[in-house]
Amino acid sequence: MKISSTQTIPEHTQIPRHVAVIMDGNGRWAKKRFLPRVMGHKKGLDALENMVKHCAEMGVEYLTVFAFSTENWRRPQDEVSFLMGLFLQALQKQVRRMHENNMRVRVIGNRSRFNDDIRKGIEDAESLTAGNTGLTLTVAADYGGRWDILQAANKLLAEGVSEITEEAVTRHLMLGDAPEPDLFIRTGGETRISNFLLWQMAYAELYFTDTLWPDFDKAALEAAVASFRKRERRFGRTSEQLPAEQQRG
């Protein structure tokens, strides 16, 4: 007999440990309001701050967000400069608030193209929060999934390995010490990965919503998690092979 999952699993075990988000739709949010695109990014930062809070309250352990892709340098210079300014501001202000709440902040990506202030801001934010034990927020900035796999492979070459294994690549990725994402969310209506976490998303549950990122609130997060909880994660097995409490439907 199959027992309904809600009867057997305590609430918290159905919460994804690791949520990865492509925060998309800032520009369209602004456009709809006849505002400059950058106002959408400003609102998007507020949405991120709320998201961090709601994820922590729910018991999510890792939140990884795509803030700036390796391809986003192609945007108009004004917009790129504004985004860099916002990033620096967040590293100083929001990070302090996160530290007060025992949260850890990490940045993944190719830091070499950032200016010195941002690089220092990243280092300070990471060292300030390194010892915290609450939610880990990882910000992907000048990040690309292909870049990540290549940097892992290059590290392995530098170590002089004779063979590259799946386990070794996983360990050398930027998120090598975190569990793989359980739930992937993309806002803004597009249904693509845009070179985000390619290797790590092999078995993530995908969730796409038309909601624009600045509008993504607590109710929107709850809807995504509710969808996640209905999924049956089989990892290649049949439904019948799963423990009763993991079977759905």
Chain residues binding ligand IPE by CB under 6 A are 22-28, 66-69, 72, 83, 188, 190, 192, 194
CA proximity to 67, closest of 105, 35, 109 = 109
Least distance (Å) from Mg ion to the CB of residue 72? 9
Least distance (Å) from ligand IPE to the CB of residue 26? 4
The residue with tokens 């990882």 is 138
Least distance (Å) from Mg ion to the CB of residue 194? 8
Question: Looking at beta carbons, which residue is closest to Mg ion?
Answer: 24
28 binds, among ligand IPE, Mg ion, none (CB under 5 to 8 A by kind): ligand IPE
22 or 122: whose CB is closer to ligand IPE?
Answer: 22
Residue 52 exposure: Cα atoms within 13 Å on the Cβ side = 23
Q: What letter would DSSP give residue 135?
A: P
151 binds, among ligand IPE, Mg ion, none (CB under 5 to 8 A by kind): none
66 binds, among Mg ion, ligand IPE, none (CB under 5 to 8 A by kind): ligand IPE
80 or 153: whose CB is closer to ligand IPE?
Answer: 80
148 binds, among Mg ion, ligand IPE, none (CB under 5 to 8 A by kind): none
Least distance (Å) from ligand IPE to the CB of residue 32? 9
The contact set with Mg ion (CB under 5 A) reads 24
For the annotated catalytic residues, the residue numbers are 24, 72
CA proximity to 178, closest of 60, 91, 92 = 60
How many other C-beta atoms can be found within 10 angstroms of the C-beta atom of residue 237? 11
Residue pair 244/3 in contact (Cβ under 8 Å)? The answer is yes
Can you tell me the distance from the alpha carbon of 180 to that of 52, in angstroms, rounded to the nearest whole number? 18
Q: How far is CA 116 from CA 10, 84, 92, 166, in A?
A: 47, 12, 14, 35
The residue with tokens 């624009």 is 212
153 or 201: whose CB is closer to ligand IPE?
Answer: 201
What angle (nearest 5°) sits at the alpha carbon of residue 31, between those of residues 30 and 36?
65
26 binds, among ligand IPE, Mg ion, none (CB under 5 to 8 A by kind): ligand IPE
Least distance (Å) from ligand IPE to the CB of residue 205? 19
Question: Looking at beta carbons, which residue is closest to ligand IPE?
Answer: 27
63 or 172: whose CB is closer to ligand IPE?
Answer: 63
Encode burial over 105-119: b for 16+ CB neighbours within 10 A, e otherwise.
Answer: bbbbbeeeebeeebe
146 or 171: whose CB is closer to ligand IPE?
Answer: 146
